[in-house]
Amino acid sequence: MPHFLDIDTTETEALRAMIDAARAMKDRRNGRPKGAPDDEQSLAGRMVALIFEKPSTRTRVSFDVGVRQMGGETMVLSGADMQLGHGETIADTARVLSRYVDLIMIRTFEAATLQEMADHATVPVINGLTDRSHPCQIMADVMTYEEHRGPIRGKRAVWTGDGNNVCASWLHAAGQFGFDMTFSGPQQLDPGREFVDFARGKGSDIRIERDPARAVEGADIVIADTWISMHDAQSARERRHNLLRPYQVDERLMGRAAPDAVFMHCLPAHRGEEVTSAVMDGPHSVVFDEAENRLHAQKAILRWCLGT
């Protein structure tokens, strides 16, 4: 079953094919109204379940629009609608949904929930985000970099801040796409060893540098993400701000990167916290291209999963 669960569990050749397909689909839509269908209705007659245990803007809208552009239909379900894993086991939910729909996209908390869904579904399952990883976002990010600067292989990305789920998928991508990466953040928030080891095992140069100014020196990509989760208590938010304040990406820090470096952020951004508005709206920023490319990258992922 061609599930798309994580970048490290998908073959490099398939990942590259998805990026290339996403760019081709985007090119073919150039100048069209957003609601206009694709010429190739590759999801015609298909029904896709979109399950959200976590709130979402970009994931929900991009998947919904993408399926519709390709001629399919969506059923959007919340965790409250389904009582996922409470009123019924996740395994039984997966078995039942597989009788109704052609594909399941799930945005959830625990990676174990995603895995159990995939283990028992008889249709493809896509990881829309878990607390462990966010592969769809990083597929859009790789696409965005290559759209602006050419092949990402051999480049160096720098992650500043919290070694969270998005950072984890960036490390997976470093290994699969052949670029190097430096993490710069407090030791308490280092990325998991398994993600670092995966990338290093694939031949990528992965470094930990506590000094953000040294970390970004000559970098090709500088990446930030929000310092807090929507579920963090106020006391945890204050502690994180104190820990992460030295890692804010401002104009001075961005100026230490390569002259043609890009700044990336998966959004939503807290302007004035992890990044300043001057950087977000500045000449290095590609954050809104990243947001748009969620649509195109995910369309390619959907097509790959369904073999269309």
- Give the catalytic positions in this structure: 107, 134, 137, 225, 266, 294
106 DSSP β-pair partners: 51, 127
Distance between CA atoms of 70 and 38, rounded to whole angstroms? 6
Question: 10 Å Cβ neighbour count for 20?
Answer: 13
Distance between CA atoms of 75 and 57, rounded to whole angstroms? 16
Could you tell me where the beta strands, DSSP code E, fall in the chain? 47-52, 73-78, 103-107, 125-129, 156-160, 180-184, 206-208, 221-224, 262-265
Buried residues in 56-84 as b, exposed as e (16+ CB within 10 A) = bebbbebbbbbbbbbbbebeebebeebeb
Encoding tokens for residue 215? 């970390």
Q: Are 72 and 126 in contact (CB under 8 A)?
A: no
74 DSSP β-pair partners: 48
- Amino acid identity, position 126: I
Encoding tokens for residue 252? 């001075």
- Residue showing tokens 């938010």: 237
Task: State the Cα torsion 150-154-155-156 to the nearest 10°.
Answer: 160
Distance between CA atoms of 204 and 67, rounded to whole angstroms? 35
How far does Cα 85 stand from its chain's mean position?
A: 25
